[in-house]
Amino acid sequence: MNNIVVVKCGGSTITELTESFFESIVQLKNAGKHPIIVHGGGPAINKMLTQLQIPSTFIDGLRKTTEEVLETAEMVLCGKMNKQLTRKLQSVGAKAIGLSGTDGKLIVAEAIDKEKLGFVGEPVQINKKLLLSLLDSDFIPVIAPIGVDQSGQHYNINADSAAAIIAAELKAEELVFVTDVDGILKDKHLLPTITAEEIALYINDGTIYGGMIPKVKAALKSLTGSLQSVWIMNGKGTSLFANGTIYGTKITKKQVATTAT
């Protein structure tokens, strides 16, 4: 199947996405594209962990996930955020369906480093047949990043990594990370384009740090086959595909334009 567009919505932006954003997803569908939404939910998870008095820490931008943290993350991501996004899409006329990565083993995962990170998983396989059947039926899948291994153990998965493997395995045309920042900034200026080589340099010198690190690493891993570039953009108040243009940082395999601003 051609014309697949994977849109990853960061948890910090979900509550601030406007109706025009969801309408733009429908417009994308009506234009013959096949959007797939993958979402996070970090701030909502933080809030629930605080209410339940469950400690939580981050290591290299990833949340260390104990059994208690995993149960809370799954409750928030699958029970709240996923259904909220699905309802919003349906309210603007979309035929949307909410899923967890554990449904039909949609996202198969393995522990990254159980001693260091606990139940944080790296996605290693997706159920392509399930996703393609939903797209064939004109559904817009909305996916919560909780994965499962072959033994049935659940894992908290970074949503950027989940979106990246889905885009790569389905040979998506486009992958867009919708976040709460304009893109990758250097000295407070937006970098319109950036290459794999530059990303490594900017991680080393601290220009790219925190939660942006797993985001750009996921973007790089997804740059295979038909997917030649990945976008990181700000979703607040944005009609994502208005006039076919995106304002943000375009990550490419090779240098296509200067990154100077």
Tokens 């304009």 correspond to: 182
> Which of 173, 170, 177, 168 lies closest to 223, judged by CA?
168
Residue 180 lies in a domain: yes
Residue 184 lies in a domain: yes
Q: What is the CATH number of the domain that holds 94?
A: 3.40.1160.10
Cβ atoms of residues 16 and 238 within 8 Å: no
What domain range includes position 224?
4-252
Structure tokens given for 66: 């104990």
Residues annotated as binding site for substrate? 41-42, 63, 156
Residue 259 lies in a domain: no
Residue 102 lies in a domain: yes
Strands 120-126 and 107-111: antiparallel
Residue 261 lies in a domain: no
Q: Long-range contacts: 52-57, Cβ < 8 Å, 24+?
A: none
Q: How many domains does the chain have?
A: 1
> Identity (one letter) of the amino acid at 109?
A
- pLDDT tens for the chain, 261 residues long, are 888 999 999 888 888 888 888 988 898 898 899 999 999 999 999 999 999 999 999 988 788 999 999 999 999 999 999 999 999 999 999 999 999 999 999 999 999 999 999 999 999 999 999 999 999 999 999 999 999 999 999 999 999 889 989 998 999 988 988 887 888 989 888 899 999 889 989 999 999 988 788 888 877 877 876 777 788 888 775 555 555 556 788 898 765 444 444
Count CA atoms within 13 Å of residue 67 on its CB side: 1
Structure tokens given for 53: 């008095």
> Which of 52, 55, 94, 57 lies closest to 76, judged by CA?
52
pTM greater than the 0.95 cutoff: no
Structure tokens given for 178: 């919708």
Radius of gyration of the chain (CA): 17
Task: Quote the CA–CA distance of 110 and 69 in Å, as a whole number.
Answer: 17
Residue 58 is inside which H or E element, if any? strand 58-59
247: burial class by Cβ within 10 Å (0-12, 13-18, 19+)? middle
Residue-level pLDDT at 16: 84
Q: Which amino acids are annotated catalytic?
A: 8, 11, 42, 160, 215
Residue 175 lies in a domain: yes
Residue 258 lies in a domain: no
Structure tokens given for 18: 């406007």
**Partners of 4 in the beta sheet?**
34
Cβ atoms of residues 191 and 241 within 8 Å: no
**E strand segments, the chain:** 4-9, 34-39, 58-59, 62-63, 96-100, 107-111, 120-126, 140-144, 146-148, 154-157, 174-179, 185-186, 189-190, 193-195, 229-234, 248-252
Each residue's pLDDT tens digit, 187-238: 888 899 999 889 989 999 999 988 788 888 877 877 876 777 788 888 775 5
Task: Quote the CA–CA distance of 255 and 55 in Å, as a whole number.
Answer: 43
Residue 246 lies in a domain: yes
Each residue's pLDDT tens digit, 84-99: 999 999 999 999 999 9
